[in-house]
Structure 1
Amino acid sequence: MSVLALTRATASLGGRTVLDRVDLSVAAGELVAVVGPNGAGKSSAIRALAGLLPLNGGDARLGGEGVAALSPRERASRVAYLPQERHIAWNLPAIELAALGAPFLQAADARAQAQAALDEVEAGHLADRGVAEMSGGERARVLLARALATGAGGLLVDEPIAGLDPDAQLMVLERLHARARAGQAVLVSLHDLALAARFADRVVVLHQAGVVADAAPMEALSPDVMARVFGLAGRWVDGPDGPLLAAGRRQLAG
């Protein structure tokens, strides 16, 4: 059974359709990357699964139960959500912010789980530093640690590597991949197609609010899909650490 699932999901924002009969699922032990151009519906799909975007039609389920029927506490116990935005209102120490990801534990246990999550994303040395005093990359690590500290069966992660240096991008995706291998269901939105191909078990390609491909990375990101969805003339080549994308802008006729 899928831990995370959208079935024929339809949603709109401001009169614009942002999800159009989207089918998407993630099983335990699986990392699925959702990719697509800006405005394709990636964040909307993740928000719908988090219970933050009401559906006009179709269904969103966590662990087989409808998201709309779950209380906020039940949703929080089943799935962790990391949004794109990294704004933090208060200058909390990193350890306290990360501990907010484990609200159902006793304070000491939540703090221990938060420290373990900070260590996991190589930010343990930031535990006592205020998040407002950090760089954007450091803050991104702390926010990821907050999501990891939940221990929920599902992880919804929206553009976690945006603005990070290459080494940090690889570290984040390695950690998410490890979480999937440990049994969590991980759904992550990405813009980097090569990294999606390298780390994901499956890639879901969204375009104009609908799914145009859902398959193993090299199949989902075929030359035809890259041309039609991303406007790229691309092909995949073998690299020392995984597939590499050789691509350029597609030349339009006329």
Structure 2
Amino acid sequence: MAAVNLLSLEKVSARLGKQAVLSGVDLTVGAGEVVALCGPNGAGKSSAIRAAVGLAPLTGGAVRLDGDDLRGLSHRQRAERVAYLPQERRIAWNLPAFEVAALGAPFLSGGDAMARAEAALIEVGAGHLIDRGVADMSGGERARVLLARALVVGAPLLLADEPIAGLDPDAQRLVLERLRARADAGAGVLVSLHDLTLAAGFADRVVVLDQGRVIAQGAPIEALSPTVLRSVFGLDGEWIEAPNGPLLAARRA
């Protein structure tokens, strides 16, 4: 019997005001895999992730978490099944890092939530920031704290919207390594990425969106073919054989 996908978007359509942002999107995320959402600005990447957590009302199709229709799940059931890391990194209050991270575990007792928050902060290399207010941090430090908050949830599915945008290379590598580690431990990860080279080397599968539609999906070497690179991204690209596997080389056409 085939395993049920942790996330399924089935012919999902959505609008933002009068504009269609998703049109018949199909995608899945299984346990133990990283799926990268790629596409130009306005392609629908954030809308797809928001739809997957119930934050973008659908005009058609269905979202399923572990086989169950999202619309039939309570807020607690959703929170237990999926962790969401939004692109927005602004935090309204200057709370210390451990309190922000602990917000990812609202159903645990205070002591358990704090212990899990501390462990997550150490996991993302932010153990030294435990008592520092998030308003007094750099953008990269704050990004680590928010990643810790998502990891604290302990959900089997993790959705991250542009988690490495604006970060330096070391911080980007750390974020991707933590997401990869969660997938290797059995979680499913859906992450939107602008950097196609990073997506190609990091993800098990890539889903390419353009104007709210799925243009290609599959293994990176298939989804990011020279034809897709040129037609969707305006890039000339090729896959180069390397000791650790094929590498994507792309440049502006």
TM-score where L is the length of structure 1: 0.96
Unaligned runs of 5+ in 1: none
Distance across 1 between alignment mates of 2:243 and 2:86: 32
Distance across 2 between alignment mates of 1:15 and 1:117: 41
Give the alignment partner of residue 19 of structure 2, picking from 16, 21, 29.
16
Task: Find runs of 4+ consecutive structure 1 residues off by over 3 angstroms.
Answer: 238-245
Q: CA deviation at 1:8?
A: 0.3
Q: Match of 2:86?
A: 83
Aligned to 1:74, the other structure's residue is in SS state helix
Q: CA deviation at 1:14?
A: 1.6
Distance across 2 between alignment mates of 1:246 and 1:238: 11
Unaligned runs of 5+ in 2: none
Given that 2:205 and 2:218 are in contact with CA atoms closer than 8 Å, whether structure 1 keeps it comes out as yes
Q: 1:22 to 1:241 in 2, by over 3 A?
A: same
Aligned to 2:62, the other structure's residue is in SS state strand
Given that 1:194 and 1:243 are in contact with CA atoms closer than 8 Å, whether structure 2 keeps it comes out as no
1:75 partner amino acid: R
Distance across 1 between alignment mates of 2:251 and 2:199: 18
Q: 1:240 to 1:167 in 2, by over 3 A?
A: farther
Q: 1:102 to 1:242 in 2, by over 3 A?
A: farther
Q: Match of 1:149?
A: 152
Q: Match of 2:115?
A: 112
Give the alignment partner of residue 249 of structure 1, picking from 241, 247, 252.
252
1:97 partner amino acid: V
Provide the aligned C-alpha RMSD in A. 1.1
Q: 1:125 to 1:239 in 2, by over 3 A?
A: farther
Q: Alignment length, in residue pairs?
A: 250
2:69 partner amino acid: G
1:217 partner amino acid: P
Distance across 2 between alignment mates of 1:25 and 1:125: 37
1:235 partner amino acid: E
TM-score where L is the length of structure 2: 0.96
2:252 partner amino acid: R
Q: CA deviation at 1:244?
A: 3.7
Distance across 1 between alignment mates of 2:245 and 2:88: 30
Q: Match of 2:240?
A: 237
Q: Match of 1:179?
A: 182
Q: CA deviation at 1:65?
A: 1.0
